[in-house]
A and B are shown apart, each in its own frame.
Chain A
Amino acid sequence: MNRAQKIARFNLIVILIAISLSTIAVSVLYFVVGLPMRRASGGFGFIGICGLMGLSPLLYKRGSDKVSLDERDLMILRNASLGAYSIFWVLFVLAAMIPFFVLGPKGMVSVKYLVAMVFGGIIIVVLIQSVITLGAYGWGVKGKNRE
Protein backbone atom coordinates (compact mmCIF):
# COMPACT_ATOMS: atom_id res chain seq x y z
CA MET A 1 0.00 0.00 0.00
CA ASN A 2 1.53 3.32 -1.03
CA ARG A 3 1.31 6.73 0.66
CA ALA A 4 -1.72 7.98 -1.31
CA GLN A 5 -3.65 4.82 -0.43
CA LYS A 6 -2.76 5.08 3.26
CA ILE A 7 -3.86 8.73 3.37
CA ALA A 8 -7.10 7.91 1.52
CA ARG A 9 -7.83 5.01 3.87
CA PHE A 10 -7.10 7.17 6.94
CA ASN A 11 -9.35 9.99 5.70
CA LEU A 12 -12.13 7.55 4.87
CA ILE A 13 -12.00 5.96 8.32
CA VAL A 14 -11.96 9.35 10.07
CA ILE A 15 -14.93 10.65 8.05
CA LEU A 16 -16.97 7.49 8.54
CA ILE A 17 -16.32 7.52 12.30
CA ALA A 18 -17.28 11.21 12.52
CA ILE A 19 -20.49 10.74 10.52
CA SER A 20 -21.46 7.58 12.43
CA LEU A 21 -20.88 9.15 15.86
CA SER A 22 -22.77 12.31 14.85
CA THR A 23 -25.75 10.32 13.56
CA ILE A 24 -25.82 8.16 16.68
CA ALA A 25 -25.51 11.18 18.99
CA VAL A 26 -28.27 13.14 17.26
CA SER A 27 -30.54 10.07 17.19
CA VAL A 28 -29.97 9.32 20.87
CA LEU A 29 -30.51 12.93 21.94
CA TYR A 30 -33.67 13.25 19.86
CA PHE A 31 -35.35 9.86 20.19
CA VAL A 32 -34.06 8.53 23.53
CA VAL A 33 -33.45 11.68 25.60
CA GLY A 34 -36.31 13.53 23.92
CA LEU A 35 -34.57 16.84 23.29
CA PRO A 36 -35.97 19.15 20.60
CA MET A 37 -34.21 18.84 17.22
CA ARG A 38 -32.57 22.24 17.62
CA ARG A 39 -30.75 21.04 20.77
CA ALA A 40 -30.26 17.47 19.59
CA SER A 41 -28.38 18.77 16.56
CA GLY A 42 -25.57 19.56 18.98
CA GLY A 43 -24.61 15.94 18.35
CA PHE A 44 -23.18 17.08 15.05
CA GLY A 45 -20.26 18.35 17.12
CA PHE A 46 -18.70 14.93 16.50
CA ILE A 47 -18.09 16.10 12.92
CA GLY A 48 -15.14 17.96 14.48
CA ILE A 49 -13.33 14.60 14.49
CA CYS A 50 -12.82 15.25 10.76
CA GLY A 51 -10.14 17.74 11.84
CA LEU A 52 -7.89 14.68 12.28
CA MET A 53 -7.70 14.54 8.47
CA GLY A 54 -5.28 17.43 8.69
CA LEU A 55 -2.81 15.11 10.41
CA SER A 56 -2.60 12.63 7.54
CA PRO A 57 0.38 14.30 5.80
CA LEU A 58 2.24 14.22 9.13
CA LEU A 59 1.33 10.62 9.89
CA TYR A 60 2.36 9.39 6.44
CA LYS A 61 5.48 11.36 5.65
CA ARG A 62 7.26 11.30 2.32
CA GLY A 63 10.47 9.34 2.25
CA SER A 64 13.34 11.71 1.47
CA ASP A 65 15.40 9.29 -0.62
CA LYS A 66 12.67 7.33 -2.36
CA VAL A 67 10.37 8.11 -5.27
CA SER A 68 6.90 8.65 -3.80
CA LEU A 69 4.87 9.10 -6.98
CA ASP A 70 5.04 7.93 -10.58
CA GLU A 71 2.92 9.03 -13.55
CA ARG A 72 0.23 6.43 -12.83
CA ASP A 73 -0.11 7.65 -9.23
CA LEU A 74 -0.35 11.24 -10.40
CA MET A 75 -3.03 10.32 -12.91
CA ILE A 76 -5.03 8.45 -10.25
CA LEU A 77 -4.79 11.39 -7.84
CA ARG A 78 -5.74 13.88 -10.55
CA ASN A 79 -8.74 11.80 -11.64
CA ALA A 80 -9.80 11.41 -8.01
CA SER A 81 -9.67 15.18 -7.48
CA LEU A 82 -11.56 15.85 -10.69
CA GLY A 83 -14.22 13.27 -9.85
CA ALA A 84 -14.58 14.60 -6.31
CA TYR A 85 -14.96 18.21 -7.44
CA SER A 86 -17.41 17.25 -10.19
CA ILE A 87 -19.69 15.45 -7.72
CA PHE A 88 -19.24 18.28 -5.20
CA TRP A 89 -20.35 20.76 -7.84
CA VAL A 90 -23.63 18.92 -8.45
CA LEU A 91 -24.34 18.76 -4.70
CA PHE A 92 -23.34 22.42 -4.29
CA VAL A 93 -25.84 23.51 -6.94
CA LEU A 94 -28.54 21.37 -5.28
CA ALA A 95 -27.73 22.84 -1.85
CA ALA A 96 -27.99 26.32 -3.36
CA MET A 97 -31.24 25.74 -5.25
CA ILE A 98 -33.27 23.72 -2.72
CA PRO A 99 -33.65 26.53 -0.10
CA PHE A 100 -34.60 28.92 -2.90
CA PHE A 101 -37.43 26.68 -4.07
CA VAL A 102 -38.53 25.58 -0.58
CA LEU A 103 -38.48 28.99 1.16
CA GLY A 104 -39.24 31.09 -1.92
CA PRO A 105 -37.36 34.10 -3.31
CA LYS A 106 -38.30 36.27 -0.32
CA GLY A 107 -37.15 33.73 2.26
CA MET A 108 -34.07 34.12 4.42
CA VAL A 109 -31.29 31.62 5.15
CA SER A 110 -29.02 31.79 8.18
CA VAL A 111 -25.36 32.52 7.41
CA LYS A 112 -24.62 29.32 9.32
CA TYR A 113 -25.99 27.51 6.27
CA LEU A 114 -23.14 28.95 4.18
CA VAL A 115 -20.56 27.71 6.68
CA ALA A 116 -22.29 24.31 6.77
CA MET A 117 -22.04 24.24 2.96
CA VAL A 118 -18.30 24.92 3.19
CA PHE A 119 -17.53 22.26 5.78
CA GLY A 120 -19.99 19.79 4.24
CA GLY A 121 -18.28 20.45 0.92
CA ILE A 122 -14.82 19.72 2.38
CA ILE A 123 -16.06 16.43 3.85
CA ILE A 124 -17.76 15.41 0.60
CA VAL A 125 -14.69 16.25 -1.52
CA VAL A 126 -12.29 14.32 0.75
CA LEU A 127 -14.69 11.39 1.08
CA ILE A 128 -15.20 11.00 -2.67
CA GLN A 129 -11.51 11.62 -3.36
CA SER A 130 -10.58 8.84 -0.92
CA VAL A 131 -13.14 6.41 -2.33
CA ILE A 132 -12.02 7.04 -5.94
CA THR A 133 -8.33 6.76 -4.97
CA LEU A 134 -8.85 3.46 -3.15
CA GLY A 135 -11.10 2.19 -5.95
CA ALA A 136 -8.55 3.08 -8.62
CA TYR A 137 -5.81 1.20 -6.76
CA GLY A 138 -8.13 -1.75 -6.26
CA TRP A 139 -9.25 -1.41 -2.60
CA GLY A 140 -6.62 -3.87 -1.52
CA VAL A 141 -2.87 -3.83 -1.10
CA LYS A 142 -2.09 -3.94 -4.81
CA GLY A 143 -0.34 -0.56 -4.93
CA LYS A 144 3.43 -0.72 -4.81
CA ASN A 145 4.93 -0.07 -1.42
CA ARG A 146 7.24 2.87 -1.80
CA GLU A 147 7.50 3.82 1.83
Chain B
Amino acid sequence: MNRYQKLAWFNLIVITATILITTTAVAIEIHLRGYSTIAPLFIVILVLLKLNPFLFKKPKGRNKVVSDERDKFIVKRAVSFAYITFWIVFFVSSLAIHIFMGMGPKSSVPTITLPLMAFGGAVFIKIVSSVAILVQYGRAGKGELS
Protein backbone atom coordinates (compact mmCIF):
# COMPACT_ATOMS: atom_id res chain seq x y z
CA MET B 1 0.00 0.00 0.00
CA ASN B 2 1.57 3.30 -1.04
CA ARG B 3 1.32 6.75 0.55
CA TYR B 4 -1.72 7.90 -1.43
CA GLN B 5 -3.67 4.77 -0.53
CA LYS B 6 -2.82 5.18 3.15
CA LEU B 7 -3.92 8.82 3.01
CA ALA B 8 -7.19 7.85 1.31
CA TRP B 9 -7.93 5.15 3.90
CA PHE B 10 -7.11 7.54 6.73
CA ASN B 11 -9.42 10.21 5.30
CA LEU B 12 -12.29 7.75 4.91
CA ILE B 13 -11.85 6.33 8.41
CA VAL B 14 -11.73 9.77 10.05
CA ILE B 15 -14.76 11.06 8.13
CA THR B 16 -16.82 7.90 8.77
CA ALA B 17 -15.90 7.93 12.47
CA THR B 18 -16.82 11.61 12.76
CA ILE B 19 -20.21 11.09 11.11
CA LEU B 20 -21.00 8.05 13.28
CA ILE B 21 -19.86 9.63 16.56
CA THR B 22 -21.57 12.97 15.89
CA THR B 23 -24.83 11.35 14.80
CA THR B 24 -24.87 9.06 17.84
CA ALA B 25 -24.04 11.92 20.21
CA VAL B 26 -26.76 14.13 18.72
CA ALA B 27 -29.30 11.30 19.00
CA ILE B 28 -28.37 10.67 22.64
CA GLU B 29 -28.46 14.37 23.55
CA ILE B 30 -31.84 14.86 21.87
CA HIS B 31 -33.15 11.79 23.70
CA LEU B 32 -31.94 13.14 27.07
CA ARG B 33 -32.50 16.89 26.76
CA GLY B 34 -34.95 17.24 23.90
CA TYR B 35 -32.53 19.43 21.93
CA SER B 36 -28.90 19.25 20.88
CA THR B 37 -26.26 21.95 21.34
CA ILE B 38 -23.08 20.21 22.53
CA ALA B 39 -23.03 17.00 20.47
CA PRO B 40 -22.51 18.69 17.05
CA LEU B 41 -19.16 19.88 18.41
CA PHE B 42 -17.86 16.33 17.87
CA ILE B 43 -17.42 17.45 14.26
CA VAL B 44 -14.05 18.88 15.34
CA ILE B 45 -12.71 15.33 15.00
CA LEU B 46 -12.32 16.25 11.33
CA VAL B 47 -9.31 18.34 12.38
CA LEU B 48 -7.46 15.01 12.33
CA LEU B 49 -7.53 15.26 8.53
CA LYS B 50 -4.96 18.03 8.84
CA LEU B 51 -2.52 15.58 10.44
CA ASN B 52 -2.07 13.77 7.10
CA PRO B 53 1.33 15.28 6.24
CA PHE B 54 2.70 14.36 9.68
CA LEU B 55 1.28 10.84 9.87
CA PHE B 56 2.28 9.80 6.36
CA LYS B 57 5.53 11.58 5.74
CA LYS B 58 7.23 11.64 2.39
CA PRO B 59 10.32 9.42 2.47
CA LYS B 60 13.48 11.45 2.66
CA GLY B 61 16.64 10.71 0.76
CA ARG B 62 17.65 10.76 -2.85
CA ASN B 63 16.97 7.09 -3.53
CA LYS B 64 13.40 7.12 -2.23
CA VAL B 65 10.64 7.67 -4.75
CA VAL B 66 7.40 9.20 -3.44
CA SER B 67 5.28 8.79 -6.54
CA ASP B 68 5.63 8.06 -10.23
CA GLU B 69 3.65 9.38 -13.19
CA ARG B 70 0.95 6.75 -12.75
CA ASP B 71 0.37 7.79 -9.13
CA LYS B 72 0.14 11.44 -10.10
CA PHE B 73 -2.26 10.58 -12.89
CA ILE B 74 -4.46 8.59 -10.48
CA VAL B 75 -4.55 11.43 -7.94
CA LYS B 76 -5.31 14.05 -10.59
CA ARG B 77 -8.10 11.91 -12.02
CA ALA B 78 -9.55 11.33 -8.56
CA VAL B 79 -9.57 15.06 -7.78
CA SER B 80 -11.15 15.87 -11.18
CA PHE B 81 -13.80 13.22 -10.62
CA ALA B 82 -14.51 14.57 -7.12
CA TYR B 83 -14.91 18.13 -8.41
CA ILE B 84 -17.23 17.02 -11.22
CA THR B 85 -19.36 14.94 -8.83
CA PHE B 86 -19.51 17.82 -6.36
CA TRP B 87 -20.53 20.16 -9.16
CA ILE B 88 -23.45 17.90 -10.17
CA VAL B 89 -24.63 17.55 -6.56
CA PHE B 90 -24.32 21.31 -5.98
CA PHE B 91 -26.22 22.12 -9.18
CA VAL B 92 -29.06 19.66 -8.48
CA SER B 93 -29.40 20.58 -4.78
CA SER B 94 -29.42 24.34 -5.44
CA LEU B 95 -32.09 24.03 -8.12
CA ALA B 96 -34.07 21.59 -5.94
CA ILE B 97 -34.10 24.11 -3.05
CA HIS B 98 -35.16 26.81 -5.48
CA ILE B 99 -37.98 24.69 -6.89
CA PHE B 100 -39.26 23.32 -3.57
CA MET B 101 -39.11 26.61 -1.69
CA GLY B 102 -40.70 28.57 -4.51
CA MET B 103 -39.69 31.88 -6.03
CA GLY B 104 -41.62 34.32 -3.84
CA PRO B 105 -40.07 37.04 -1.66
CA LYS B 106 -40.38 34.83 1.44
CA SER B 107 -38.37 32.00 -0.11
CA SER B 108 -35.09 32.49 1.69
CA VAL B 109 -32.66 30.38 3.65
CA PRO B 110 -30.65 31.23 6.79
CA THR B 111 -27.13 32.51 6.05
CA ILE B 112 -25.68 29.62 8.06
CA THR B 113 -26.80 27.35 5.18
CA LEU B 114 -24.08 28.75 2.90
CA PRO B 115 -21.04 27.98 5.11
CA LEU B 116 -22.59 24.57 5.81
CA MET B 117 -22.81 24.01 2.06
CA ALA B 118 -19.13 24.87 1.66
CA PHE B 119 -18.18 22.67 4.60
CA GLY B 120 -20.32 19.78 3.38
CA GLY B 121 -18.89 20.24 -0.11
CA ALA B 122 -15.32 20.01 1.19
CA VAL B 123 -16.09 16.80 3.10
CA PHE B 124 -17.90 15.40 0.06
CA ILE B 125 -14.92 16.13 -2.22
CA LYS B 126 -12.59 14.47 0.30
CA ILE B 127 -14.78 11.35 0.44
CA VAL B 128 -15.20 11.05 -3.33
CA SER B 129 -11.52 11.66 -4.12
CA SER B 130 -10.44 9.12 -1.46
CA VAL B 131 -12.83 6.50 -2.80
CA ALA B 132 -11.74 7.25 -6.38
CA ILE B 133 -8.06 6.80 -5.42
CA LEU B 134 -8.77 3.47 -3.71
CA VAL B 135 -10.92 2.22 -6.60
CA GLN B 136 -8.26 3.14 -9.16
CA TYR B 137 -5.57 1.32 -7.19
CA GLY B 138 -7.88 -1.66 -6.84
CA ARG B 139 -8.94 -1.28 -3.19
CA ALA B 140 -6.40 -3.88 -2.03
CA GLY B 141 -2.78 -3.24 -1.19
CA LYS B 142 -1.61 -3.55 -4.78
CA GLY B 143 0.08 -0.18 -4.90
CA GLU B 144 3.85 -0.12 -4.60
CA LEU B 145 5.35 0.54 -1.21
CA SER B 146 6.62 4.01 -0.57
On chain A, the residues within 8 Å of B103 by CB distance are 111-112
- A67: interface (CB < 8 Å): no
- B90: interface (CB < 8 Å): yes
B90 contacts A118, CB within 8 Å?
A: yes
On chain B, the residues within 8 Å of A115 by CB distance are 94-95, 98
- A107: interface (CB < 8 Å): yes
Residue of B nearest to A92 (CB): B118
A100's partner among B80, B91, B97, B112 (CB-CB below 8 A) is B112
CB distance from A43 to the nearest CB of B (A): 20
CB distance from B13 to the nearest CB of A (A): 24
A108 contacts B118, CB within 8 Å?
A: no
Chain A interface size range = 20 to 34
B-facing residues in A79-107 (Cβ within 8 Å): 81-82, 85, 89, 92-93, 95-97, 99-100, 103-107
On chain A, the residues within 8 Å of B80 by CB distance are 78, 81-82, 85
- B114: interface (CB < 8 Å): yes
B-facing residues in A96-131 (Cβ within 8 Å): 96-97, 99-100, 103-112, 114-115, 117-118, 121, 125
B114 contacts A100, CB within 8 Å?
A: yes
A118's partner among B76, B94, B115 (CB-CB below 8 A) is B94
- B34: interface (CB < 8 Å): no
- B79: interface (CB < 8 Å): yes
B111 contacts A114, CB within 8 Å?
A: no
CB distance from B69 to the nearest CB of A (A): 11
- B107: interface (CB < 8 Å): yes
A110's partner among B108, B115, B118 (CB-CB below 8 A) is B108
How far does the alpha carbon of A144 sit from the alpha carbon of B84 in the complex, in Å? 28
How far does the alpha carbon of A107 sit from the alpha carbon of B121 in the complex, in Å? 22
On chain A, the residues within 8 Å of B105 by CB distance are 110
* Closest 8 pairs between A and B when the two form their complex, measured CB to CB: A85-B83, A96-B114, A96-B118, A108-B108, A114-B94, A107-B111, A100-B111, A118-B94
